[in-house]
Amino acid sequence: MSRTPTYKTIRQQSKMWKQSPAAPMNSFQRSLKEREENLKLQRSKLDLAWKKLNEDIAELEEEKKRNEDLKTELRLWEDIRGKQQEEAEEDESVLSRTLYELQQHLNLVKKDLFICQKKKEILMRKNSEVDPILENEIYGKSQTLSTIQQMIDYINNDLTKHENETLQKEEEAKQHQIAILEAEDRHKEIIRRKISAESEKAMLQKRLEELKKQNEVFETNKKAATEKLNAAKEEEKKLDEEDKEIEQKQKDLDEKMKELEELKSKYEELKLEAAQKEIEKRKEEDERLKKIVLQPIEDKNVEEDYNTLLIELDLKKSELLQREKMLELEENRIADDFNAQKKSLEDAINYLKENLKNSKEDSEKAEETKQKADQLNSEIKEKQNELENLKKEMKTKEEMEKIDKELEAEKKEVDDMEKELSEVLAKLQRDEEETDKEEEELKFNLEKLQNERIVLQEKEKQMNEKLQIYQKELENSQERLVSLTNSI
């Protein structure tokens, strides 16, 4: 008879299997822990992205304010430039009138000088003395003419310079107008980006709410899984408490197996002894018949006795054959009973083994298993009585069908639980993939915002440089205007 594994060995194998990383509960617990850490990491990333987005929106607000200030300064500069242009036009008009008057005066001085020179020539032709007053008048007219010509040249230079400055200021005004248009366009772009950022902020808020709900669902699943794990641990404790009792039952079962072996050996001895007695009895009967056959037949009665003995001999032979068949049948039945008893014990041990492997069932299943073990012990005692009395037959077929049904039910429960765990893990995996996709989208949007921010900073820097240039040019224009005014 093959030796079945002890309950202690089965329990050790079950504990080792439960403690191994491949066990479903350990794998599920590890997956829960990884999922929890991943959710925390995603939450921290989303919080960081939220903070960064708020900072970008605040920077956009500041940049919008700076842009509006720049537009105000540009418009103020435009107003100042308009006033300066009006003043320059007035100055130009004054200079033009002054130039006209100087030219008229120059013409008059030229005429007077020409008349004086003609008078001098006439006097010199007549060899008359030149009047010193005339000489002084000619000299004064010449000096006046030279002075007026210098003033005219100076005014012409100022007018040319003023005209060039006017053209330059017109060009600057065009540039300022372009800068104002660019500032307005940039202002519109900032408003559009702000609206986009607000939309992204709303989407991010919605995503945070969804993540919060997912986290709540995860916490609920985690709580349920923790309760199941605690229930499994309690079940494990109960099984540990029952270890000693079941181990004792295992020892009792081994002793009963030994008793069955002893009963089988005794049965073989009794069978051999009965066969030997039957052989001796048949030998004695054959000897008696031989003696009768060898005696001389004296009369008719002896012949009748002989025929009767032959008939009795045939009857006894047939009876012996029938008894041999009955003994053979009885031997086969006893062997079948023994094999059935052996199979029943092996099935009981396998049932205990399967029951231990599938220890995820609740406390009611454990209590039913204990009752089944007690019932199995009583059935073993009944089968021993049946084996000793050789009067009853075992009902292993019905018991095996019952055990198979129970095993199928337990297997179905375990499959359902594993299926539920697989669905939870698959859902967690899908949530993790969705979170990764959204994290990539957030990273892309953040990079886009950062690039736009860099572009805006560059444009702001360029505008500041242009503004400084305009301010310097404005100061230079004011200085030139002051110097021109002083010169006039």
Written as one string, the DSSP assignment of 417-438 is HHHHHHHHHHHHHHHHHHHHHH
Given a cut of 70, is residue 286 above it in pLDDT? no
User: Mean per-residue pLDDT for 16-45?
Assistant: 66
Alpha-carbon distance of 465 to 471, in angstroms, equals 10
Question: What pLDDT is recorded for position 391?
Answer: 42
DSSP E strand boundaries for 63-206: none
What is the per-residue pLDDT for 280? 75
What would the DSSP string read from start to end of 253-269?
Answer: HHHHHHHHHHHHHHHHH
Identify the band that residue 300 occupies on the pLDDT scale cut at 50, 70 and 90.
very low
**Those residues with Cβ within 8 angstroms of residue 80's Cβ, 6 or more apart along the chain or in another chain:** 474
pLDDT at 91: 76
Instruction: Determine contact, residues 396/268, Cβ cutoff 8 Å.
Output: no
C-alpha 63, offset from chain centre: 36
Tokens 């939220």 -> residue: 50
Residue 366 pLDDT exceeds 70: no
User: What CA–CA distance (Å, rounded) separates 265 from 387?
Assistant: 13
Instruction: Report the C-alpha gap between 350 and 4 in whole angstroms.
Output: 9
Place of tokens 């956009």: 60
What the block records as the tokens of 295 is 């005696």
What is the C-alpha to C-alpha distance for residues 308 and 32, in angstroms, rounded to an integer?
A: 94
Q: Which residue has the higher pLDDT, 406 or 273?
A: 273
Give domain limits for the chain.
Answer: 7-11+232-398, 44-201+437-487
How distant, in Å, are the alpha carbons of 39, 48, 125, 140, 144 from that of 134? 112, 99, 15, 10, 15
Mean pLDDT over each residue of the chain, to the nearest integer: 69
Confidence at 3, pLDDT banded by 50, 70, 90 = very low
* Cβ contact 235:366 at 8 Å: yes
Name residues whose C-beta falls within 8 Å of residue 351's C-beta, 6 or more positions apart in sequence: 372, 376, 403, 406, 407
The number of C-alpha atoms within 13 Å of 394 and in the hemisphere containing its C-beta is 27
The span from the CA of 400 to the CA of 387, in Å, is 19
HEC-encoded secondary structure of 202-218: HHHHHHHHHHHHHHHHH
Upper half-sphere CA count for residue 248 (Cβ side, 13 Å): 5
Share of the chain above pLDDT 70, in %: 52
pLDDT at 2 (0 to 100): 43
State whether the Cα torsion 435-438-440-443 is positive or negative: negative
pLDDT of residue 362: 47
- Distance between CA atoms of residues 96 and 271, nearest Å: 157
pLDDT at 97 over 80: yes
CA atoms of 61 and 55, how far apart (whole Å)? 10
Q: Tell me: the pLDDT tens digits for 129-174?
A: 667 887 788 788 888 888 888 888 887 887 788 788 878 877 877 8
Q: CB under 8 Å to 400, separation ≥6 — which residues?
A: 347
Over residues 301-320, the mean pLDDT reads 61
pLDDT of 210 strictly over 70: yes
Provide the 10 A C-beta neighbour count for residue 335.
Answer: 12
Above 60 in pLDDT, residue 184? Answer: yes
Banded model confidence at residue 308, pLDDT cuts 50, 70, 90: low
pLDDT at 407 over 70: no
Using the predicted structure, report yes or no on whether residue 94 has a pLDDT greater than 70. yes
Among candidate residues 207, 173, 200, 182, the one with its CA nearest the CA of residue 45:
207
